[in-house]
Amino acid sequence: MKKYLSYIGIIIVAGAIYAFNNPPVDFEKENPDGIQFFKGSWEEALAKSKKEQKPIFLDIYATWCGPCKKLSKYTFSDKEVAKYYNANFINLSLDGEKDLGGVLANQYGITGYPALLFINSDGKLIQQFSGYHNSNQFLKLGNQVLAK
């Protein structure tokens, strides 16, 4: 019985530590210092991309996804990342499990989250990445895409 209670105690403590270190993230909340995500339709994003001659950066996430939360909390809120991505891309972030996010996840064959897609103004995929990337890695991805 004592062994059983010890296991339960360990599980509760581990869960509390996990919850403390991985707070919920509001993906819809705008961060004034972070990447500014476009709020219009897909067609409007494509038109804006064409007009401004900038590719689209499309973040497709899931609300339950740990690496998605880390990207949102740390990488997308980094001031250097925000300055670079806001200047060079039309940024869009969508939940891949509902509405337009689900449609685009299906259209681009997304099999896991986070999916980081770079798309031209005609809707053609330039390059695709997945998983968590810290600020420096994420800046390198942007540079790599723009160099193509």
CA angle 51, 54, 55 (to 5 degrees): 120
Residue 61 among the catalytic residues: no
CB 105 within 8 A of CB 96: yes
The two tokens of residue 96 are: 């891949």
Residue 74 among the catalytic residues: no
Indicate which residue of 35, 45, 58, 68 is catalytic. 68
Indicate which residue of 65, 90, 92, 115 is catalytic. 65
Backbone angles phi and psi of 69, in degrees to 5: -65, -40
Give the catalytic positions in this structure. 65, 68
